[in-house]
C-alpha cells in the first residue's frame, strides 16, 4: 500500500488564488466571498474559489457572446474539430495532473480518476470533434401549386443556438464539463460553465488548457460559485440554452426558470433510481464482479449506477450471501492509494445524506451488511446491502446516490416489470440473463433511457444517453445532442 506523490504542478495550481475564467484568463473580484474546496479524504481545505456574483456572471456571458458572434460562429467546422482534438491531446498530456485534482477534491480513487474520468474525457472530446464536420440539413421538395411554371425547393440548416450555460454536478466534473464543452463547441456555440462548488478545480484547469489548444479566448468561460451563481447565469439574456446535469429537484427548478426566461432552450440530465434485474438463469459467481464494480464505482455516486436490485427468488439467498462477502472484502482507504477499491464520499452534505438513509435502514433492521460510517477523519462509509420488502419503502423510491443497494426478490417477469417501472425516475436499467428470448421481451417494457444487458453503467460517446420520466429531457452523445445545441432553420426558394 503506497500513496502516489502529489505532482509539483498540482501543488502549484492548488496554491493559486483562483478566479473565474473569463475571456481567456483568470478574473478575480476581490469583493467576492471565497468557498473552501475540501479534500473529502482528509477534511483539509486544499484551495479556495470565488463565489460568483451577478456582475462576474454578466462578464462571462458577455465574453462568450462576443466570441460567439465575432469568432467561433465564423470559423469552419473543420477548424472547430481540430481545436477540440488539440484540447483532447492536451488533456492526455496533462492526464496525471487532472486526475490528481479530481482525486483531491472529489475523493475519487486515483485509478478511477485516471482510467475512467480523464481517459473518458479524452475519448468524448475526440467524439465531439468528429461530429463538428457532420452537422447536416436536408433538401425537401415542397408540393406548392405552380401557376406559371414556377418551381420550388426547400432545405434546412442547423445553426448554433449561441451561448450555452453548462451547469455541472460534483461527481464527474471534468468529464461532464467536457461533455458540455464538446457539445457546445462542436456545434458552433460558445459556453459558460458553472461547475459544482465542491469540485471546481479540474474544470478551471481544463479551460486553461483550451487556450493552450488554440481555442480563442471567450469561447470557454468558467464561473465558480454556489447555486445562486447558476441562477444568475440562467437569467442572463445572453444565455440562449441551459445544459444541466444534476439532481431532479434542481433540474425542475432550472427548467421552470429557463421557461420563464422567454422559453430559453434547456436540456436536463438528472438523477435515477436505477434497477438491475437478475433473472432465474444468472450465474451469480460470473456476474457479481461486474455488477459490484458497476454499482460501487466512485462509491456509488454515479447517476446511472443501480440502486434497486431485483433478484429472482430462486437466486436471492445466494446473491445476498455472496454480495455481502464481496462488499466486506473491498479495501477502503485513501483515494490516492491505488490498491484501494473504495474511497470517501465526495462532500460533507452528501455524507450526511447517505448516513441519514443508512440510519433509516438500521432503525428498521434492514441492513444485511455494511453501512457503518468509519470513525476518524474523512467521509468514509462502508458499502451496504439493504433488504427491502415493500416497493413503497423510501429506500426503494428516493435516489441515495451513495454506496447502498436495496435488494428485493421477484417471482415472475410481469411483477418484475411492474416493480421496475414503479418509480418517478427513468434513467437506466439492466437485465442480467442469457435467456435472450426473455431479455428481448423485457427491453421494450422497461421505462428507462438506457437498458444494458449483462452490464451496467457503461457510457459510450457513440450511444445516446439521457432519461425518461423525471430523469430528464434531451439526449447526450452520438449525434443526438446536435438537435439540442442548434436551431433548425427552414429555407424555401421559388425559381
Residues belonging to the active site: 269, 303
38 is a contact residue toward ligand NDP (CB under 6 A): no
Q: Are 168 and 41 in contact (CB under 8 A)?
A: no
Q: What span, in angstroms and rounded, lies between the C-alpha atoms of 48 and 45?
A: 8
Query: Shortest distance, CB of residue 479 to ligand NDP, whole angstroms?
Result: 18
- For 194, the grid coordinates are 458553472
Query: Shortest distance, CB of residue 304 to ligand NDP, whole angstroms?
Result: 7
CA atoms within 13 A on the CB side of 407: 25
- For 119, the grid coordinates are 481517459
| Region of 41-49, 130-138, 183-191, 247-255 interacting with ligand NDP (CB under 6 A) | 247-255
Query: Shortest distance, CB of residue 71 to ligand NDP, whole angstroms?
Result: 27
**What is the contact mask toward ligand NDP in residues 389 to 428, using x (rule: CB under 6 A)?**
----------x-x-------------------------x-
Which CB sits closer to ligand NDP, 158 or 253?
253
Name which of 124, 109, 221 is nearest 174 in CA terms. 124
3-state secondary structure of 245: strand
231 is a contact residue toward ligand NDP (CB under 6 A): yes
Q: What span, in angstroms and rounded, lies between the C-alpha atoms of 133 and 80?
A: 9
81 is a contact residue toward ligand NDP (CB under 6 A): no
| Region of 93-101, 165-173, 292-300, 327-335 interacting with ligand NDP (CB under 6 A) | 165-173
Q: Are 176 and 476 in contact (CB under 8 A)?
A: no
Q: Binding ligand NDP by CB under 6 A: which of 40, 162, 177, 230?
A: 230
232 is a contact residue toward ligand NDP (CB under 6 A): no
Q: Binding ligand NDP by CB under 6 A: which of 63, 187, 196, 243?
A: 196
Which CB sits closer to ligand NDP, 393 or 399?
399
Query: CA 371, 372, 376, 378: dihedral to nearest 10 degrees?
Result: 10
Name which of 277, 357, 364 is nearest 312 in CA terms. 277
β-strand partners of 486: 160
Name which of 9, 7, 27 is nearest 18 in CA terms. 27
Q: What span, in angstroms and rounded, lies between the C-alpha atoms of 174 and 172?
A: 6
Residues numbered 14 to 33 that lie near ligand NDP (CB under 6 A) are: none
171 is a contact residue toward ligand NDP (CB under 6 A): yes
Residues numbered 276 to 295 that lie near ligand NDP (CB under 6 A) are: none
β-strand partners of 166: 193, 243
Which CB sits closer to ligand NDP, 29 or 337?
29
Residues near ligand NDP (CB under 6 A) are 167-171, 194, 196-198, 226-227, 230-231, 245-247, 250, 253-254, 269-272, 303, 399, 401, 427, 467, 472
Amino acid at each position: 500500500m503506497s500513496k502516489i506523490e502529489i505532482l509539483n504542478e498540482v501543488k502549484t495550481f492548488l496554491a493559486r488564488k483562483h478566479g473565474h475564467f473569463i475571456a481567456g484568463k483568470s478574473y478575480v473580484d476581490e469583493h467576492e466571498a471565497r468557498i473552501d474546496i475540501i479534500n473529502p479524504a482528509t477534511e483539509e481545505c486544499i484551495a479556495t474559489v470565488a463565489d460568483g456574483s451577478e456582475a462576474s456572471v454578466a462578464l462571462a456571458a458577455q465574453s462568450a457572446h462576443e466570441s460567439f458572434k465575432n469568432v467561433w460562429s465564423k470559423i469552419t467546422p473543420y477548424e472547430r474539430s481540430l481545436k477540440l482534438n488539440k484540447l483532447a491531446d492536451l488533456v492526455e498530456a496533462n492526464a496525471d495532473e487532472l486526475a490528481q485534482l479530481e482525486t483531491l477534491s472529489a475523493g475519487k480513487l486515483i485509478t478511477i480518476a485516471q482510467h475512467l474520468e480523464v481517459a473518458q474525457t479524452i475519448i468524448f472530446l475526440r467524439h465531439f470533434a468528429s461530429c463538428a464536420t457532420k452537422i447536416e440539413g436536408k433538401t425537401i421538395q415542397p408540393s406548392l401549386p405552380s401557376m406559371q411554371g414556377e418551381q420550388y425547393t426547400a432545405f434546412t440548416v442547423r445553426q448554433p443556438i449561441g451561448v450555452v450555460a453548462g451547469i455541472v454536478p460534483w461527481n464527474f466534473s471534468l468529464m461532464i464539463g467536457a461533455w458540455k464543452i464538446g457539445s457546445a463547441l462542436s456545434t458552433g456555440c460558445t459556453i459558460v460553465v458553472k461547475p459544482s462548488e465542491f469540485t471546481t478545480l479540474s474544470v478551471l484547469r481544463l479551460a486553461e488548457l483550451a487556450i493552450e489548444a488554440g481555442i480563442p479566448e471567450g469561447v470557454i468561460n468558467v464561473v465558480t460559485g454556489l447555486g445562486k451563481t447558476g441562477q444568475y447565469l440562467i437569467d442572463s439574456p445572453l444565455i440562449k440554452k441551459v445544459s444541466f446535469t444534476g439532481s431532479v429537484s434542481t433540474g425542475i427548478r432550472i427548467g421552470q426558470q429557463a421557461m420563464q426566461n422567454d422559453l430559453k432552450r434547456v436540456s436536463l440530465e438528472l438523477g435515477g433510481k436505477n434497477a438491475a434485474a437478475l433473472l432465474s438463469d444468472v450465474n451469480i459467481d460470473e456476474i457479481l464482479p461486474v455488477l459490484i464494480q458497476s454499482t460501487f464505482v466512485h462509491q456509488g455516486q454515479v447517476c446511472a449506477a443501480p440502486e434497486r436490485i431485483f433478484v429472482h427468488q430462486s437466486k436471492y439467498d445466494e446473491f445476498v450471501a455472496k454480495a455481502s462477502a464481496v462488499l466486506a472484502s473491498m479495501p477502503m482507504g485513501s483515494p490516492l492509494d491505488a490498491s484501494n477499491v473504495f474511497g470517501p464520499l465526495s462532500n460533507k452534505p452528501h455524507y450526511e445524506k447517505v448516513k441519514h438513509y443508512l440510519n433509516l435502514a438500521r432503525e428498521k433492521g434492514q441492513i444485511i451488511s455494511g453501512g457503518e460510517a468509519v470513525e476518524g477523519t474523512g467521509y468514509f462509509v462502508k458499502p451496504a446491502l439493504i433488504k427491502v420488502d415493500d416497493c413503497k419503502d423510501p429506500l426503494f423510491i428516493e435516489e441515495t446516490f451513495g454506496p447502498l443497494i436495496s435488494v428485493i426478490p421477484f417471482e415472475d417477469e410481469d411483477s418484475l416489470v411492474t416493480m421496475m417501472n414503479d418509480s418517478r425516475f427513468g434513467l437506466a436499467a439492466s437485465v442480467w440473463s442469457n435467456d435472450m428470448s426473455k431479455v428481448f421481451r423485457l427491453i421494450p417494457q422497461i421505462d428507462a433511457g438506457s437498458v444494458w444487458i449483462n452490464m451496467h453503467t457503461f457510457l459510450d460517446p457513440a450511444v445516446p444517453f439521457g432519461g425518461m420520466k423525471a430523469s430528464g429531457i434531451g439526449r447526450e452523445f452520438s449525434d443526438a445532442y446536435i438537435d439540442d445545441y442548434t436551431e433548425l432553420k427552414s429555407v424555401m426558394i421559388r425559381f
